[in-house]
Amino acid sequence: MTGATREMFYNEALGEALRLEMERDERVIVLGEDIAEHGGAFQVTAGLLDKFGPTRIRQTPISELGIVGAAVGAALTGLRPVVELMYVDFSGLAMDQLVNQAAQNRFMFGGQARVPMVMRTQGGSGRGNAAQHSKSLEAWFTHVAGLKVVMPSTPADAKGLLTSAIRDDDPVIFLEHKLLYRTKGQVPSGEYLVPLGKADVKRAGTDLTIVTWSREVLFSLEAAGKLAADGIEAEVIDLRSLVPLDRDAVLASVRRTHRLLVVHEAIKRGGYGGEIAAIVAEEAFDDLDAPPRRLAGLETPIPYAQHLEKTVVPQVDDIVRVAKELVA
C-alpha cells in the first residue's frame, strides 16, 4: 500500500467502500434485511440511510429469493445493486435467481444483457451460532459458470475488493467471515481498488506453500510464525478471489517451495481445496517433493458449543502440525 492510510475495522472498511461508490455512481443501490435504520447485522451499512435516503438504501423483508430477484431485475435495467444477506446459510433460498438468472443472462443474450450486482453475505464458525448460521459455502458458488467469488481476509482487501466488485459488470458473490468484522488494519484512504483474480503473498517463504483464504489466512500467518521459530519458512498465499483464480501465483510459489498445503474452513469433501490440489497436480507435478495436502473442516454440521466448534475447523496448531508433517 502506498499513500495515506488509517486504521479501520473490517466492517468499517466495507462501509467506506459502499459510501464512496454510492457517491461516485448514482446507479449503486443497497438492498437487504435491517440494512437501513439498523445498519445491517454487522453495521456495515451504518449511516448510509441518512446520507443516501430510502430510495437507494432499500430495506427489504426477510426473503432471500425476493431480495436477490429484485437485485437481478435492477441490474438488468441499468442499476448496480449491492445485496446484503444476513447469513450465507440461507443463500440456498436465492439459488434460482443467482444460478439461472444472474450468472447466465449475459451468455444467454450474447452479451447484450449484463447483471452487474454484488451479493454480500457472511459465513463461517467461531461465534457459537451453530449449524444453521455458521457454514462456509464458497464451493457452491465457484461451481457456477458466470459467478465471481471473492473472500477478503483483511480490512484493506475488503475495501479494495468490494470497490472492484461493485464496478464489475458480472455478478460477484462477496463472502465475509463473521469473525473478521472486528479485526483491524491499515486501509488506504480515498479511492482504492484491488483487482479481482489477483492473489497476495501475505508472507514469503521457501519450505512450503500454504494456500488459503478468508479467516484461515490469519490462522495460517500465526502458524507460519510458529513454524519459523522451528526453522521452517512457510509462504502464505491469500487467494482473495476464488473465481477468477490466480493460478499463476499458486504455481509459481509451489515451483519454488516444492510443497503445497491448502487450508480452508469449509468441509474438506467437495471443498475448493480439491480444485487447488488438482491444478497443482496437473500442472506442477514434477516440481513437487511431496503429495499436496488439504487441511479443512470435518464432515459434520458446526456444533453450538464453542469448545466443540473449534474441533471441526482448522486451528493454528492444526496448521503447524500438518505443515511439519509435509516438510518432514
Q: Give the residue numbers annotated as catalytic, written as ranges.
A: 64, 133
CB atoms within 10 A of CB 322: 18
Closest CA to 120 of 159, 79, 78: 159
Measured distance CA(221)–CA(202) in Å, rounded: 8
Does the N-terminal peptide bond of residue 292 adopt cis geometry, omega within 30 degrees of 0?
no
The dihedral region occupied by 30, where left means phi > 0, alpha psi between -120 and 50, and beta the remainder, is beta
Residue count (the chain): 328
Helices 155-167 and 10-24, packing angle to 10 deg: 30
Residue 267 belongs to what H/E stretch? strand 260-267
Contact by Cβ (8 Å): 127, 179: yes
Q: H-type helices in the chain, by residue range? A: 10-24, 48-52, 64-76, 95, 105-108, 138-142, 155-167, 215-229, 247-257, 273-283, 306-309, 316-327
Helices 273-283 and 247-257, packing angle to 10 deg: 60
